Chains A and B, each alone.
Chain A
């Protein structure tokens, strides 16, 4: 039944994977599921980016201070309002030996924008009109209209530069310029990368990065302690302390780019009176919820890790059931019964349940409808939507991505503006923020937007979830940049 040759080969392959290159310099990571593809231009999923970010590089990236830094592009400037010119780094080669030059960058961006391809992340760069090489190492990117967040979008993992000449084979055999190059991928078992000796920034000290696919978090926790896994992003809140206290392990939590929010359908008759929405905001106990789901209480719509987030806003709706009752009385509302839509997610379900209990205290009956994400995504488009609770990641780390999506009228009905928020002055400010390359003008516009929506309450940002990362203490010098998809191992060492 078992083919002996196959078994021998498998055993040999396994022995090779475990044995030769100094085990000490092999970093073993874990994630819950396979990536779908290893071509970053063909996915929009963290399970892929966690691998592709080691193999490929972007033109620019976000430093840990949130400022755009050079990577494959050494410098850049807007030569016209809608034309960005970048100088490509010289002396960089892809893992297959081909050189990176302006033509290769253009080919990669065209590979990304290929209208024939399935690219769920297309929207990140879809405003690009034309990409052209104007010198051996000079590239110009032209957008239809001025698009201020362009650099932030170029820093997103989806926009990584690939060896486009390899086409579809990149999905299984990724070839980039990054510090690690691809070795093997066994479905549901592991993905192996090795240090790129020719990396332009110097060969990394860690020689091998093995990412094991382990679906069960309980197993990962055992493996962290037994040494079968060295690092893992996203430990559950209730295991954080036990991992942090385990000998040889450390655990950190940090602010990511996410936010959790409760939204209102402004077209729902029950929710049209702003006082009703304010009353509900007053019973959302952000401190309590933050303690339970491991998040920082939020006021602004986007976390301070995101460029142009307003950081010093006062909470206009502190937890105050009495004030909430007054507001409902002023609005002449009593015996209200509402429904909140949520998708299956422990954090979001918890928020809905706490809200349900608090609303009962001020005489509002809240029904929770929990569905798988696909069904939820349809429900929020229905006219009978009332409340919804959702998570959001401002993955470009630029306010435009969140605020334009949440608040611009063009995003109603299938976009991200599920609150159906329309306000002409806000619309104008959002367009200024998107089109005006001047950072100060953008900052002013986004501050005004964030202040205005605190008055209008199309949604209440409940908290900014804390990301967690556990690792062996032997691992030093790694940079968990906002999330595992920005994980940087170039200067990391394993001291064991």
Chain B
């Protein structure tokens, strides 16, 4: 087990190296002078001499390979450098947004699990009945409706119409409800679909028939014998969803003015803030890979036949 985990962790290194190279290249390929991108329209009042002075100050005059190597050297020392725009350490920029991201991802996933698993189980147990069809339609709506629409509808109804919850912002649990609901609903869809198909498959198995033949109650058959064994693919999907949420739910964060990682990534890309883009993408890649590792390890807990030697 320990050997397996350390092997997987070592396997991270080439992946991360690849990620840094890709991100670095993409920043170079983007059209336009990165200095102008950074300064924005305000740059139009600057003289050429002023621009050249700024270029040196921001370090854009160094050649790309040197810039990349110094970035990589920093990563090894757990130093992701400083944002060009704000001058703040990249790790700090990430850290101040982490609590908000964790809250939204946690609450969103909670809601997604409740909705997704219930819909999935119901649809599988009552396969080809009205309940199944309704569950499938709800799940489809969840995938299809974009958050910038559903979020606005939630806001208009619960904040403007009823006045129950603040429309946007961050701070109290009341601020968390609407964005978590919006993101939970859209993430629940895929969980519901995978749960349904996995459950249908399991419910057909011989041991389910055996359990029923033994006289085990229907609820126990479905949940204990059925759902538990159907969970393997579902866990994979949940892991992917959670990884995605931790990487920042850009649209939800934007609509609800939630100060999470997603907005940081998008803002830094827009401004072509090299160190910040590299640092945040690298961070998200690490989180994503670690969550997948946890998912793989959880298989062994759910299914004792799986062993990592």
Contact = CB atoms under 8 A, between A and B. Distances in A.
Interface residues of A, number: 62
A171 interface: yes
B61 to A, nearest CB: 13
B91 to A, nearest CB: 13
B254 A215 contact: yes
B33 interface: yes
B31 A372 contact: yes
A125 B176 CA distance: 46
Interface in B76-120: 85-87, 93, 96-97, 99-100, 102-103, 106
A377 B272 CA distance: 15
Interface stretch (B14-22, B36-44, B187-195, B205-213): B36-44
Interface stretch (B63-71, B121-129, B164-172, B296-304): B164-172
A213 B169 CA distance: 8
Interface in B1-54: 31-34, 36-37, 39-48, 50-51, 53-54
Contact of A171 (B87, B167, B260): B87
Interface string A122-140: 1100100000000000000
B259 A186 contact: yes
A118 B58 contact: yes
B44 A120 contact: no
A343 B166 CA distance: 36
Given A189-B100, A212-B169, 18 more contacts: A2-B103, A13-B171, A14-B171, A18-B172, A34-B267, A120-B46, A168-B87, A189-B169, A189-B257, A218-B152, A222-B152, A222-B160, A225-B160, A228-B166, A371-B31, A391-B41, A414-B51, A416-B45
A411 interface: yes
B159 A222 contact: yes
5 smallest beta-carbon distances between A and B, as pairs: A374-B32, A414-B48, A14-B171, A188-B259, A374-B37
A387 to B, nearest CB: 17
Interface of A: 1-2, 6-7, 10-11, 13-15, 17-18, 33-34, 36-37, 44-45, 117-118, 120, 122-123, 126, 168, 171, 186-190, 212-216, 218-219, 222-223, 225-226, 228, 343, 371-378, 390-392, 395, 401, 405, 411, 413-416
B255 interface: yes
A376 to B, nearest CB: 8
B168 A228 contact: yes
Contacts of A392: 44
B42 A120 contact: yes
B106 A2 contact: yes
Interface in B168-205: 168-172
A375 B32 contact: yes
Given A188-B263, A392-B44, A122 B50 contact: yes
A188 to B, nearest CB: 3
B60 to A, nearest CB: 12
A213 B257 contact: yes
B259 A214 contact: no
